């Protein structure tokens, strides 16, 4: 069997089950093992559609090595249209890696994703987009500082995906565990990058095409797929991202959008209460470029407003 799919089923707490749909393409020649995870978050559809298309389009005669594609990594969140978190336990899987076999639903799910799929790879792509209430400027992010060879390949995955913004973030090894999927892979010696294109819970065909082209280009660059990879010579490189959060709950009137360059101290927007009384203004904490944004006015205390990519690590 050179191409096959399987729905893997695992037990979870309280009699729940975890479903992990894996599509595998075994090439006719030996080569690296690439693993792609899509759908870690519930409302991110273009990477899911691109992952399915990739499986359909890959011809084993043109593949060297193996491509394992997890088309919907978080089936529970997908089926419930749940933003950011898995509904069963309210946890964000992209804060739980490498997970725990005896943990809660999400901790077990990421444990199995890593143990049975990602850890078997020589390279890993974690494909995302803006969730239901997010918009973004397409970007890739990788973590470095664990091993020079892994760092180099992780950056190549990020760059060859072909997106206009690339963030290379120094891994904080004082943290006990990674949490983030791509950082966890790098910590375990598997080159990896997070890639983001698409937004608002829409199945935009443009974003599907961006992901499909990026996946194929990375596979070509690493010799998994026949053909010449194209160079991404138009990207902007950043050293870190800084989150901006709402200091108080309220209605947020945002004045910026993804891709905007902000100056430190520039106004991002204002918060008002439910009678229109000003509660405060939110300012950029540094010079940087708006990568992605919550473009929804309902804000809780410490609610996420936007991520700012910065040239210097902050």
Q: Which residues bind Zn ion (CB under 5 A)?
A: 41, 44, 128
Q: What is d(CA 178, CA 274) in angstroms, rounded to the nearest whole number?
A: 39
Q: Closer to Zn ion at the Cβ: 45 or 105?
A: 45
Report in angstroms how near the CB of residue 181 gets to Zn ion at its nearest.
9
In angstroms, the Cα distances linking 177 to 114, 152, 159, 183, 268 are: 13, 22, 25, 9, 32
CB nearer to Zn ion: give 140 or 284: 140
**Residue 40 Cβ, how far from Zn ion at the closest point, in Å?**
6
- At closest approach, how far in Å is the CB of 178 from Zn ion? 15
| Minimum gap (Å) between residue 41 Cβ and Zn ion | 4
**Least separation in angstroms between CB 132 and Zn ion:** 11
Closer to Zn ion by CB, 44 or 107: give it.
44
Of the two residues 128 and 155, which places its CB atom closer to Zn ion in the complex? 128
- Residue among 129 and 146 whose Cβ is closer to Zn ion: 129
Q: Which is nearer to Zn ion, 49 or 282 (CB)?
A: 49
Instruction: Please report how close the Cβ of residue 194 comes to Zn ion at its closest, in angstroms.
Output: 8
Token pair listed for 150: 């892994």
Output the smallest distance, CB 304 to Zn ion, in A: 12
Q: Which is nearer to Zn ion, 42 or 168 (CB)?
A: 42
**CA dist., res. 56 & res. 276, Å (int):** 52
Cβ at position 84, least distance to Zn ion in Å: 8
Nearer to Zn ion, 130 or 162 (CB): 130
Q: How far is the CB of 313 from Zn ion (least distance, A)?
A: 23
DSSP string, the chain: --EEEEEEEEE-GGG-EEEEEEEEEE-SEEEEEEEEEE-SSTT-HHHHHHHHHHHHH--GGGBEEEEEEES-S-HHHHHTT-SSSBTTTTB-GGGTBT--TTS-HHHHHHHHHHHHTGGG-SEEEEEE---TTEEE--EEEEEESS-HHHHHHHHHHHHHTT-SEEEEEE--TTSSS-BSHHHHHHHTT--EEEEE---TT---HHHHHHHHHHHHHHHHHTTSBSSPPPP--S-EEESEEEEEE-SS-EEEEE---TT-EE-TT-EEEEEE-TTS-EEEEEE-SSSEEEEEEE--SEE-TT-EEEEEEESS--
Alpha-carbon span 24 to 64, nearest angstrom: 13
Nearest residue (CB) to Zn ion, 134 versus 151: 134
* Separation of alpha carbons 156 and 36, rounded Å: 15
């Amino acid at each position: 069997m050179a191409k096959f799919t399987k729905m893997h089923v695992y037990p979870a707490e309280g009699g729940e089950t975890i479903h992990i749909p894996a599509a595998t393409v075994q090439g006719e020649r030996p080569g690296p093992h690439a693993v792609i995870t899509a759908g870690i978050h519930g409302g991110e559809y273009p990477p899911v559609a691109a992952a399915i298309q990739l499986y359909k389009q890959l011809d084993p005669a043109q593949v060297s090595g193996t491509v394992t594609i997890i088309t919907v990594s978080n089936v529970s969140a997908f089926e419930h249209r749940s933003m950011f978190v898995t509904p069963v336990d309210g946890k964000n899987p992209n804060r739980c890696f490498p997970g725990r076999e005896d943990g809660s639903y999400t901790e077990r799910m990421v444990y199995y994703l890593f143990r049975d799929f990602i850890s078997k790879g020589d390279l890993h792509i974690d494909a995302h987009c803006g969730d239901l209430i997010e918009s973004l400027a397409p970007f890739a992010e990788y973590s470095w500082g664990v091993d020079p060879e892994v760092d180099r390949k992780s950056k190549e995955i990020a760059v060859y995906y072909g997106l206009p913004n690339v963030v290379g973030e120094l891994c904080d090894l004082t943290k006990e565990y990674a949490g983030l999927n791509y950082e966890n892979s790098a910590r375990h010696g598997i080159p990896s990058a997070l890639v983001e294109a698409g937004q608002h819970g829409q199945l935009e065909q443009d974003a599907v095409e961006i992901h499909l082209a990026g996946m194929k280009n990375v596979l070509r660059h690493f010799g998994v797929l026949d053909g010449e990879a194209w160079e991404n010579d138009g990207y902007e490189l950043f050293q870190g991202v800084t989150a901006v959060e709402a200091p108080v709950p309220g209605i947020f009137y945002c004045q910026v959008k993804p891709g905007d360059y902000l100056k430190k101290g520039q106004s991002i927007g204002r918060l008002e209460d439910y009678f229109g009384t000003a509660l405060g203004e939110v300012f950029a904490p540094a010079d940087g470029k708006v990568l992605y944004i919550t473009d929804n006015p309902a804000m809780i205390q410490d609610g996420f407003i936007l991520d700012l990519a910065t040239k210097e690590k902050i």
